[in-house]
Amino acid sequence: MFAPTFMRHMHDYGTKPEQVAAVKAIHSEHASNNPKAFYKQRYTVDDVLKSRIICKPLHLLDCCVETDNGTAIVVTSAERARNCRQHPVLIRGVVGRCSKPRTDMHYQHGPISTVAGHYAKDILWPNAGVGPQDIDPHRLLRRPSPSPPCCSSRTTASARRARAATT
């Protein structure tokens, strides 16, 4: 799923394997400091690039560990939330199951590296009444290494550090 999309991203934007490997190296650094991390071993860019190719251009160490978990979000009215012990977080907008207009004709709707977030933004921001400049997002999901540079609607700190480390 990620390999062809990322190959196109590399072609279009000149992204180098070293930049992708730097994302894994940075994530492994964070994991090594987390006592609850599934894998705590630190990897270098060279370690990632020397691991076997799974599906070009992705190496074994680019792939995420299947340790996804379950998450629950308790939703209530803003009025009721004011009486809770924890400070409430207001949900300003939600977009779910968003993708290209027609999945059977995806080639007609822009490049393959255009992901759902590109389409979701046109629904999310107007409904929320804010824009990307108004928020400070936090990403919890560890996805394959190509995800931060090519699949985020807003560049993550990890992707910025990866680019800086290889330029």
User: What does the alpha-carbon distance between residue 100 and residue 108 come to, in Å, rounded to a whole number?
Assistant: 10
Model's pTM, two decimal places? 0.52
Tell me what pLDDT residue 97 has.
Answer: 66
pLDDT computed for residue 132 by the predictor: 81
What tokens were used for 24?
Answer: 């894994």
pLDDT 10s digit of each residue in the chain, 167 long? 678 878 888 888 899 999 989 989 998 998 899 888 888 899 999 999 999 999 888 899 988 776 555 556 778 888 898 888 888 888 888 777 666 665 555 555 566 666 667 778 888 888 888 888 887 665 544 455 555 444 443 344 444 555 555 55
- Report yes or no: 15 and 149 within 8 Å, Cβ to Cβ: yes
Nearest to residue 111, comparing CAs of 36, 10, 22? 10
Strand partners, 59: 53
* Alpha-carbon Rg for the chain in angstroms: 18
Orientation of helix 157-166 relative to helix 17-32, angle to 10°: 120
Q: How far is the CA of 15 from the CAs of 12, 22, 26, 149, in angstroms?
A: 8, 12, 17, 9
Q: Compute the half-sphere exposure of residue 98: CA atoms within 13 Å on the CB side of its CA.
A: 14
Straight-line distance from the first to the last Cα atom of the chain, in angstroms, rounded to the nearest whole number? 28
Q: What SS3 state is found at 118?
A: helix
d(CA 129, CA 136): 15
What is residue 91's predicted lDDT score, i.e. its pLDDT?
A: 82
